[in-house]
Structure 1
Amino acid sequence: MIAYDRFLTENLSKYKFAPRVREDVINALANYKELRPKMENFTFNDGTSQDLVCLEGTIPVDYHKSTYNIPIAIFLYETHPHTPPMVYVRPTSTMQIKASDFVDNNGLVHLPYISDWKHPGSDLIGLLAVLQVVFGERSPVFAKFPVHTETIPKPTPPVYVPYPQGAGFYAQPPILTSTDPGSLPGYIPPVPGVGWQIPTIPNMGGMQMPQLPNYSSPFPDPSGMPSLPTMSVAGQTMSYFPTPSSDNQRGSLTEDHLRLSLRSAVMDKIRRVQNELICQHGDELKAIQQAQSDLECGGQKLKSMFARMDVEQSEATQALDSLNKKNAELSDLVKRLNATENEPLNVDEAVDTTYPLYRQLVSSFAEEQAIEDAIFYLVTALGKGVLDVDVFLKAIRELSRKQFMLRATVQQCREKAGLPLW
């Protein structure tokens, strides 16, 4: 770790946020021991190149209950950690990139964690953990089949022509694993009841191979049947011939391998179709969910409007009933007025109150105002010499006492009736 610290000190001078880059890289190297930092020249799509810090190595991935080391390279921009890093899968000579939704043919990794990168919520440890999970679900590489010049490869998958099943015929073609003549079947003994032998073919680089002989049997002439697949070894051509089933387990894929391969291919196909359907119907689903949310909000508004309308309808019904009563009262009053139109009008009966308190208030107020008028006329008469002073004072004293009592009565009535006081 000291060597890594020295390396970062020497090479982070161009990085704008060097302390944060150092901390992020040190934490990643401490958790993933197989990663190594180095400076590497990176060429961008526009042709420009730049020396960037690269974390190269392998990360452990659990795939199908087994642990594999996936080689990767992480390039850090000079504005790291505010700019998301670039992640590449770097297969070895025995590996080949397996393109998918997250890895392109060049090995560049595309993940939502990278596209949604935001400091400080995103860092290299989180990125590496996401890579382990994603690569554990779908491996970004697969192993190449080794090619040996000394080994005769088996066609994948071979197509066999059906032949009569009888003594002397076997289920699978021979599997050649070595050029050592002792390891190749140079001769197959005759099978009882058939009466033929397989002679050896000419020497091909020290190897002996069986050839199809002429024989007589109760089966149809093999010359009329399609020829078996042929392959070339060391410049010569040889035909596939059946060998005992015990050799089928050497250098060939078993049924379990084929079943796992088929299952993996089907799962990949299902995932691709599922992702296509999700992308295709994702926007429609969001639109439907938004419409559903709007409809629910609209339903709540409609319910509140209906409740308010019910209240207003009830109030309107009550107001209508009250209006009908008032109209009935007015109609009766109009009828009575029409009936008494030709009769002389009694002012005291025409002006009346609804309650005795109001009647007392009106009566006291009217009497008090009358006394006020009487005092006014007495003062006028005194000024004109109609009354002498003694008579005037006696009348004024009596009227003022009565006026005072009436005003007190008016005040009490107004107070009881809740009317403003003078």
Structure 2
Amino acid sequence: MPHFEDVIKKMLPKTYHRKHVAHEIYVALHHFKSLVPMMDKYVYNDGTTKNLMSLTGTIPVMFADQTYNIPVCLWFEESYPQTAPICYVRPTREMMFLSGKYISSNGEVTLPYLEEWKNSECDLMTLLRVMVVMFGEIPPVCMQSHPETEEAPCWLQFHRQPEVLSKADGSLYLHLAREDDLPFQQENETNC
């Protein structure tokens, strides 16, 4: 049976520093058991895509004497370990971002450790440990109280499924019911 580190190494394209990357991921998975390695498409800000190695899952973070599992995704470019991983917090539907000091509005992690990455001094395990400590001080996500009504955007709050109905003459029309049974507003009026 092949060693798990060898399995990771085989997942990586030859353009990666396969032995080094596989070893770092293997060590990280030993300590952070809910992370999963996979090759997947990463979409850059300019819209280009590339198949990159990623680690996806949760990291346990202590906040206010409770352990929370923070969902993250770390992407490794072929230049890793010369360049830092691209890291994101990936909230579930029940969560929302708390963008701020270390999290951008799209969930990208912007820790000083990543910004000051040095190949010979920085590694994946230390990065994950820094994330655990920093997220314990400043949580990147929180639970939404009522995600469908309070936090949902206006268009989503008032979205209703139309019904296709037929008239006596056989023609079809769409009927959109309101929850409050009030008549719809006139043209060019809105609730949003």
TM-score (structure 1 length as normaliser): 0.34
Q: Assess if the C-alpha contact under 8 Å between 1:35 and 1:55 holds in 2.
A: yes
2:112 and 2:148 map into 1 onto residues whose CA distance is 42
State the structure with more CA Rg: 1
Give the corresponding residue for 1:23: 23
Q: Assess if the C-alpha contact under 8 Å between 1:15 and 1:80 holds in 2.
A: no
Higher helix share: 1
1:235 partnered with 2:180: yes
2:147 and 2:82 map into 1 onto residues whose CA distance is 46
Letter in 1 for 2:180: G
Shift of 1:236: 6.8
Letter in 2 for 1:101: K
Q: Assess if the C-alpha contact under 8 Å between 1:73 and 1:87 holds in 2.
A: yes
Give the corresponding residue for 2:105: 105
Q: Secondary structure at the match of 1:96?
A: strand
Give the corresponding residue for 2:11: 11
1:7 and 1:82 map into 2 onto residues whose CA distance is 23
In structure 2, the CA distance between the partners of 1:34 and 1:27, relative to structure 1 (3 Å rule), is: same
1:144 partnered with 2:144: yes
1:33 and 1:114 map into 2 onto residues whose CA distance is 22
Shift of 1:5: 3.3
Shift of 1:21: 0.6
Give the corresponding residue for 2:32: 32
Shift of 1:46: 2.4
TM-score (structure 2 length as normaliser): 0.73
Higher strand share: 2
Cα offsets for 1:26-82 (capped at 9, x unmatched):
111111001000111011122221100000000000001111000000000101111
Listed as ranges, the gaps of 5+ residues in structure 1 are 154-233, 238-422
Cα offsets for 1:256-299 (capped at 9, x unmatched):
xxxxxxxxxxxxxxxxxxxxxxxxxxxxxxxxxxxxxxxxxxxx
Give the corresponding residue for 1:67: 67
Letter in 1 for 2:31: N
Shift of 1:13: 2.5
Cα offsets for 1:290-325 (capped at 9, x unmatched):
xxxxxxxxxxxxxxxxxxxxxxxxxxxxxxxxxxxx
2:57 and 2:4 map into 1 onto residues whose CA distance is 14
Cα offsets for 1:84-129 (capped at 9, x unmatched):
1011000001001110111011000101111111122111100000
Give the corresponding residue for 1:42: 42
Shift of 1:147: 5.8
Shift of 1:6: 5.0
Give the corresponding residue for 2:189: none
Listed as ranges, the gaps of 5+ residues in structure 2 are 151-178, 183-192
Shift of 1:235: 2.5
Q: Assess if the C-alpha contact under 8 Å between 1:14 and 1:78 holds in 2.
A: no
Give the corresponding residue for 1:53: 53
The higher relative CO (CA closer than 8 Å, separation ≥ 6) is in 2
Matches within 5 A, 1:179-190: none
1:134 and 1:72 map into 2 onto residues whose CA distance is 14
Q: Assess if the C-alpha contact under 8 Å between 2:61 and 2:68 holds in 1.
A: yes
Q: Secondary structure at the match of 2:96?
A: strand
